[in-house]
């Protein structure tokens, strides 16, 4: 996995540009929220105030929202930019009713929030109440386009405005640009890159591609729908950093013959009614297909990071047996 370089204070190699949350490799809600606060703490310690803004926060997911609360608490002049129409970052794109949070989190101003096994909808509702109660300065449907170094800090150009700031906190996710398979037929409308509603796949032949938690969860939940035939294709020989409960559920679903797992397999071509998959034996099979869900993660915005001078490092994970 490619991850931008950040110091223990969440500052990149570019002075006064900070990173917190999923972009820096931390996708867990609780820890991303902690990082958002810690990044603001680091900005305050540097005492690098701006004439117009002290910090522009890019992204309104857990890290960005926590950072926004911390900015209010620390009496900083700030603005938070969010390209989506609502709060939540990657949570906003979770499947309907997905369990989004299972551990308590401590938020600036708000304090300790104890929420166990709550759904995406409940968590988004909580964030929206926080937004309203504390009057967070979040600009929705405003996309960051350029960050330019200036004599007094940075100029942040968005799709709607230009901001002068002393510091920038990148709290964006990695899913803005989904990683594609790069195979023939991928442009068809039946190919999507996130699961929204499992029920829409009733009575269908569905292929899920990927080996992370999102892929396993998609395959499992779709397999629970009446009449579905689900195949999970993953190019590696085993599933790496997945939650134990997802691994257990996958094994149970496979044992119950609700889905088929094809490890060391690669999608070769997507046709109108079928999909061609190369197996570990190099044999290419063709299976009936009505929908393809690609859960291969997001592409790191490397060109953008390089353009503003942020170094990117490559980290390698360790595969675990199925």
Tell me whether residue 181 is in a domain: no
Give yes or no: residues 107 and 158 share one domain.
yes
Helices and strands of the chain, counted as H and E runs: 6, 21
pLDDT for the residue 318: 45
- What mean pLDDT comes out for the span 72-81? 97
Looking at residue 102, its pLDDT comes to: 57
- Evaluate whether residue 252 is within a structural domain: yes
Report how far residue 211's alpha carbon sits from residue 194's, in angstroms, rounded to the nearest whole number.
Answer: 14
280 and 304 assigned to the same domain = no
Residue 19: predicted pLDDT: 95
Looking at the structure, tell me whether residues 113 and 204 fall in a common domain. no
Residue 98 lies in a domain: yes
Percent of the chain with pLDDT over 90: 65
Residues 137 and 213 in one domain: no
pLDDT band for position 249 (50/70/90)?
A: very high
Looking at the structure, do residues 166 and 211 belong to the same domain, yes or no?
no
Average pLDDT, the chain: 89
Q: What is the span of the domain harbouring residue 59?
A: 2-176+299-314
Distance CA 144, CA 158 (A): 4
Specify if 185 maps to a domain. no
Domain membership of residue 183 (yes or no) is no
Question: pLDDT tens digits, residue range 53-73?
Answer: 999 999 998 899 999 999 999
**Angle, helices 62-73/29-46, rounded to nearest 10 degrees:** 40
pTM above 0.75, yes or no: no
User: Are 62 and 171 in a shared domain?
Assistant: yes
319 in a structural domain: no
Clarify whether residues 170 and 122 are in a common domain. Answer: yes
How many CB atoms within 10 Å of residue 95?
Answer: 18
- For the record, the structure tokens of 31 come out as 């820890």
CA 252/CA 248 separation, integer angstroms: 6
Q: Are residues 7 and 20 in the same domain?
A: yes
Q: Is residue 24 part of a domain?
A: yes
pLDDT tens for each residue of 96-149 = 655 655 577 889 999 988 776 677 778 788 888 999 999 999 999 898 999 999
Tokens of 101: 């949070």
In a domain, 320, yes or no: no
Q: 62 and 103, same structural domain?
A: yes
Confidence of residue 322 (pLDDT cuts 50, 70, 90): very low
Query: Based on the domain organization, do 27 and 166 belong to the same domain?
Result: yes
Whether 260 has a pLDDT exceeding 70, the answer reads: yes
140 shares its domain with 289: no
CA distance linking residue 54 with residue 140, whole number of Å: 20
Task: Indicate the pLDDT class of residue 319, thresholds 50, 70 and 90.
Answer: very low
Nearest CA among 117, 115, 121 for reference residue 97: 121
Q: What is the pLDDT of residue 92?
A: 59
Are residues 273 and 202 part of one domain? yes
Judged by DSSP in three states, 46 sits in helix
- Tokens at residue 164, please? 């002068």
CATH of the domain at 213: 3.50.50.60
pLDDT in tens, 203-240: 999 999 999 999 999 999 999 999 999 999 999 999 98
pLDDT at 89: 57
CA dihedral (18, 63, 90, 221) positive or negative: positive
State the total domains in the chain. 2
Between 319 and 67, name the one with better pLDDT.
Answer: 67
The band of 3, judged by pLDDT with boundaries at 50, 70 and 90, is: confident
């Amino acid at each position: 996995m490619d991850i931008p370089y950040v110091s223990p204070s969440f500052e990149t190699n570019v002075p006064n540009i900070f990173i917190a949350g999923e972009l820096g490799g931390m996708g867990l809600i609780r820890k991303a929220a902690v990082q958002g606060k810690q990044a603001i703490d680091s900005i305050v310690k540097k005492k690098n105030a701006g004439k117009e803004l002290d910090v522009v926060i890019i992204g309104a997911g857990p890290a960005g929202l926590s950072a926004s609360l911390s900015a209010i608490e620390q009496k900083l002049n700030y603005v938070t930019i969010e390209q989506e129409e609502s709060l939540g970052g990657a949570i906003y794109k979770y499947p309907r009713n997905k369990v989004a949070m299972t551990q308590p989190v401590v938020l600036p101003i708000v304090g300790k929030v104890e929420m166990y096994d709550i759904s995406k909808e409940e968590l988004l509702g909580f964030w929206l109440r926080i937004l309203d109660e504390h009057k967070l300065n979040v600009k929705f449907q405003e996309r960051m386009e350029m960050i330019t170094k200036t004599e007094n800090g940075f100029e942040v150009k968005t799709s709607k405005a230009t901001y002068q700031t002393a510091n920038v906190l990148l709290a964006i996710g990695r899913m803005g640009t989904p990683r594609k398979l790069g195979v023939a037929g991928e442009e068809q409308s039946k190919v999507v890159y996130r699961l929204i509603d499992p029920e829409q796949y009733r009575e269908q032949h569905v292929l899920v591609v990927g080996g992370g938690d999102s892929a396993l969860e998609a395959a499992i939940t779709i397999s629970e729908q009446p009449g579905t035939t689900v195949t999970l294709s993953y190019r590696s020989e085993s599933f790496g950093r997945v939650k134990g409960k997802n691994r257990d559920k996958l094994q149970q679903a496979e044992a119950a013959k609700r889905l088929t797992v094809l490890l060391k397999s690669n999608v070769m071509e997507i046709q109108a009614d079928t999909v061609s998959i190369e197996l570990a034996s190099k044999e290419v099979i063709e299976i009936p297909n009505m929908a393809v869900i690609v859960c291969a993660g997001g592409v790191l915005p490397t060109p953008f990071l390089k353009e503003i001078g942020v170094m990117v490092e490559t980290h390698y994970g360790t595969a675990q047996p199925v």
